[in-house]
Structure 1
Amino acid sequence: MIFETKEDVDVPRDFAFSRFADFTRYEASARQYGADIRRVNGFTEVAEGCSWRGSAVIRGKARGVEATVTRLNRPEHAQMRTTVGGMTVDVDLYFDDLGPEKTQVRVTAHLKATTLAARLILQTVKLARRQIQGKIDSRIVALANQYEDEYRRQQGRG
């Protein structure tokens, strides 16, 4: 199953990449939501191959989580693979230059079940596809707005 969204952001491509592909920020966010995760391979900076392991409560049950940055091609593309229980989620972030201060960000998430239990969860996800797509879209818009504001403040225009 694939979810895809795109958003035009009024910031330069390098800035958009540095914010949307800030996996350290996502690590902190996951902790705020109760996930117990840690970096496992000694990376101090996020780079290709950097990974995290831990657990998170999902649908009322503690599940193992493993995430790895599989591609980091600055400033065009970043990819992360996350495995939760019997589900694999590949998230691709693409950054297309639309002008000196405008970038199109495309986010694609490929969900794949590797166990029977995960296939059942995917069936539920398919039934709620429209609502989930709406949540993804609104989250990307919120991040875009946040990063545009941050960029304007840095430039002394906000």
Structure 2
Amino acid sequence: MKFSTKEDIEAPIEAVFDMLGDFEFFERAAMRRGAEVQRTDTKNVPGVGMGWRASFPLRGKRRQVDIELVTYDRPTEMVFECRSPNLIAMLTVELVALSRSRTRIMVSTDIKPLNLSARLLVQSLKLAKTSLTKKYKLRIAEFAKSLEDRHKRVA
């Protein structure tokens, strides 16, 4: 099951990529929302092979996911593989420079079940695909706006 959307950001492509590559910022944000996040690699600079183990409450249960950065192509693309015992998801973030000060961000998430219970979950998600797609697009639009605002504060 795949979700995708695109948004335009009033910021240069390098600045947007740098904000997306500020992994410590995202780790802190996840912790503020109740997740436990641990780095699973020892890299000092961003790149392929970076990894995290995250644990968070969802629907009354504690869930765990392992995240690995599998593509890091500065300044145009990052791909994350997110694995749980039941699902695997690929999160792709692509950037395209529209002008010196404008960047298009394209985000897609592809979810694949690994067992029967996950298949049932994905099947039920397909029934609600229209509303889930709307929510996905709204969240990415909010995220893009936050990146734009962050850039304006720094610039």
TM-score by length of 2: 0.90
Mapped partners of 1:113, 1:119: distance in 2: 5
Give 1:1-158 correspondences, 5 Å limit.
Answer: 1-155=1-155
Number of corresponding residues: 155
State the one-letter code of the partner of 1:107: V
Deviations 1:46-81 (A, max 9, x none): 321011124222222222210001111110100101
- Give 1:23 deviation, angstroms: 3.1
| Pair 145,124 (structure 1): closer, same or farther in 2 beyond 3 Å | same
Contact 2:21/2:46 (8 A) holds in 1: no
- Give 1:41 deviation, angstroms: 1.7
Deviations 1:13-64 (A, max 9, x none): 0111122343333322222222222001223443210111242222222222
State the one-letter code of the partner of 1:145: K
| Pair 7,46 (structure 1): closer, same or farther in 2 beyond 3 Å | same
Contact 1:21/1:93 (8 A) holds in 2: no
State the one-letter code of the partner of 2:139: R
> Aligned to 1:72, what secondary structure does the other structure show?
strand
The farther-off stretch of 65-74 and 55-64 is 55-64
Contact 1:93/1:106 (8 A) holds in 2: yes
The farther-off stretch of 8-17 and 146-155 is 146-155
Q: Which runs of 4+ in 1 moved over 6 A?
A: none
TM-score by length of 1: 0.89
Unaligned runs of at least 5 residues, structure 1: none
| Pair 64,151 (structure 1): closer, same or farther in 2 beyond 3 Å | closer
| Pair 150,33 (structure 1): closer, same or farther in 2 beyond 3 Å | closer
- Give 1:125 deviation, angstroms: 1.4
- Give 1:11 deviation, angstroms: 0.6
Mapped partners of 2:86, 2:61: distance in 1: 13
State the one-letter code of the partner of 1:103: T
| Pair 88,133 (structure 1): closer, same or farther in 2 beyond 3 Å | same
The sequence identity of aligned pairs, in percent, is 29
